[in-house]
Amino acid sequence: MELNGRDLAKRQRIVGAIVLGVGLLFVIRLFQMQVTTDEWKNRAERLTEEQEVLQPARGLCLDRHGDLLVTNVPSYDLMVVPRHMAGIDTTALASLVQLDRAELERRLAKARRYSRYKASPLMRQLSAEEYAALSSELWRYPGLSIRTKPVRKNVYGIASQIVGEYREVDREDMNRDSRYRLGDYKGKSGVEAQFESDLRGTPGIRHHLVDVRNNVRNTLTDMDSLPVTGADVTLTLDADLQRYAEQLMEGKRGAVVAIEPATGEVLAFVSAPSYDGNLLTGTSRGAAYDSLAKHPWKPLYNRAVRGTYRPGSIFKMVQGLIAMEQGSISPRTHIDCNRDIIGCHGGHTQDDLRRAVVHSCNPYFYEVMRRMVNQHPDKDKFDNARLGLGWWTERIKDFGLGTDLGGHIPGTRLGLVPDTTYYNNIYGRRHWTFRTIYSISIGEGELLATPLHMANLAAIMANKGWYMEPHLIRDIGGKGKPESLQVRHEVAVSATHFDPILDAMQAVIEDKSGTGRRAYTPGITTCGKTGTVQNRNKADHSVFMALAPRKSPEIAVSVYVEYAGAGGDWAAPIAGLLVEKYLHGDVPNTERERRVMGATYPLDPQFAEVEPTQPAP
């Protein structure tokens, strides 16, 4: 049926009205969505949820008496949002923030690559003074803001090599531990790294809704969590003794380690030259680190646990102890000072054990070790030496030498106690005898130890045959000392054998002919032993080991001063001053103190680049 003109026109009007009505509905709805309410406008801008991490306060580090060693102070990161920096005067801004214009442009370009809408650091760790200098001008730059973050401050600037460094994480840190994000900080060395999980605390989280331009649209407070402060760590160090030891070692190279014998707690720990850890924070960190890394005396190298030296004459006491336990000698055994066998010094000719220690008689201890090693006369000379050295090596390791002493102090090297395998690899199984290796009998040759090993040896002497593994932590978070740090080791030598050795150590300091006279302190019975450590045709190292007082010892100490000559010249007086400071609290002997503090030994240019560790020849 065909439609007439009137019906067609009517239908067209109806269809047109429907189309117009639908169009009006869309226009009205769009007007509502875009003009009368923000709800749909915001949704159109793609709201997303973002988590803001709330960093906890990091735990403090205290000394054994509760004095503050390391605390948190605010630093200021200058943040930039690139989209708000269009058209700025970069010359004026560069002058304000004290950067070259080219460097500023480079940093702004890096921020733009990261995000035009999100804030990223333009400058990190501004000090309070640096922030104050530019804060009044920040209003001129709407794209700049300040983010406050805590950094570590070493209150006295001491024990920096043990406390360690706290700095920004790198990509390796983030890949290893998902808790860390770009811009976070963590302990990177020392105690800061070793106890990172205790010190760092637990971060909190604040939830936001943000738009595509990173503008906060809403907060989701029901989902927030508060940060939990990190645990305080109490170190075993005595801040006064540590500071004093660093003063005594100023201008010198070497190490000082002091231990409380009954507990194994480290009282002082110095690697010289030391440095102020505060230099490695703030905007000058890079320049400071480069300067320390390039210094010829290597202040970043921790000599106290990484420097391996020959123990020298200090080792002779260990030889005497294990020989008495084996029955090779007694305290009354006299041995000729036969200098045709090995060189010696002084006017003595035939000593017993006590006088041999006092005189540091090389032929005496050569013969002592020969008796211990050559204990299988039924064997040929090669098997005799091999079997005897195997027994001897195990006895020496009882004293902690050649071990990491429990590994509680970061970076501790084992040193070296050469065994049969070591010499077989050098000479071949049937090409060495005692005559080949005799230099180790007097603490020279291939024998190597760290200053920590020597301080621990002094603690063994103080305890007459046992030691607690050396450690640096007294308490974590008020829960006391971790059980893993309270490990005791017994030395396979009877306590009665220590008395003649201690008699000799006391005589080293008190006898008029004693080599350690410069460690003598009136009112304190100190036992000690000097060492003059050979150093490959270069100046000898000055070494001293001591404990005091002899009855109920409270401190055991080792001192190494590199390229300083005889042990009695410099290491002994430093040890004496430390003992006096710790036990008396002050140092009346100002002449001895002035001599040590004023001394810096001339360094021959041939020694300037020497690595502070002595490889076996």
Model pLDDT for residues 532-586, shown as the tens digit of each residue: 887 776 788 899 999 999 999 999 999 999 988 888 899 999 999 999 999 999 9
Return the pLDDT at 20: 80
Check residue 577 and give its pLDDT.
96
Strand, helix or coil for residue 489: strand
How many C-beta atoms lie closer than 10 Å to residue 247's C-beta? 15
The pLDDT value recorded for residue 509 is: 95
Q: What are the beta bridge partners of residue 449?
A: 309
Residue 2 has a pLDDT of 57
Residue with tokens 């709407």: 142
User: Which residue spans of the chain are classified as CATH 3.30.1390.30?
Assistant: 74-150
- Asked if omega into 74 is within 30° of 0 (cis), the reply is no
Q: Are strands 61-62 and 233-235 parallel, antiparallel or unpaired?
A: parallel
Q: What is the pLDDT of residues 25-44, one digit of tens each?
A: 877 777 776 666 666 555 54
Output the pLDDT for position 605: 36
What's the CATH superfamily of 239-291+300-607? DD-peptidase/beta-lactamase superfamily (3.40.710.10)
Per mean pLDDT, which range of 16-30, 117-131, 309-323 is the poorest? 16-30
Q: What is the per-residue pLDDT for 513? A: 80
Q: Report the pLDDT averaged over residues 316-327.
A: 96
What's the predicted TM-score (pTM) here?
0.83
* pLDDT grade for 611, boundaries at 50, 70 and 90: very low
Which spans in 465-617 are helix H? 498-510, 571-584, 590-597
Q: Residue 48: which pLDDT band, with cuts at 50, 70 and 90? A: low
Average pLDDT of the chain? 87
Determine phi and psi for 138, rounding to 5 degrees.
Answer: -65, -25
pLDDT at 221: 59
Express each pLDDT in 430-452 by its tens digit.
999 999 999 999 999 999 999 99
Owner of token pair 């978070």: 477
Q: Supply the pLDDT for residue 61.
A: 97
> Quick one: DSSP state of residue 471?
B
| Predicted local confidence at residue 351, as pLDDT | 93
At residue 366, the pLDDT reads 95
Nearest C-alpha neighbor of 544 from the set 535, 554, 526: 526
In angstroms, the CA 281 to CA 107 distance is: 20
Query: Bridge partners of 79?
Result: 121, 145
Beta strands 466-468 and 204-210, pairing class: unpaired
What class is the 74-150 domain? alpha beta
Q: State the pLDDT at residue 75.
A: 85
SS3 label, residue 488: strand
**Confidence (pLDDT) at 607:** 39
> Is residue 117 predicted with pLDDT exceeding 70?
yes
Q: What is the pLDDT of residues 187-234, one digit of tens each?
A: 899 999 999 999 998 888 776 665 555 555 555 556 577 888 999 999
Q: Which of 107, 200, 218, 118 is nearest to 476 (CA)?
A: 200
Q: Which residue has the tokens 């102070």?
A: 73
**Residue limits of CATH 3.40.710.10 in the chain:** 239-291+300-607
pLDDT band with cut points at 50, 70 and 90 for residue 252:
very high
Torsion sign, CA atoms 132, 138, 139, 145 = negative
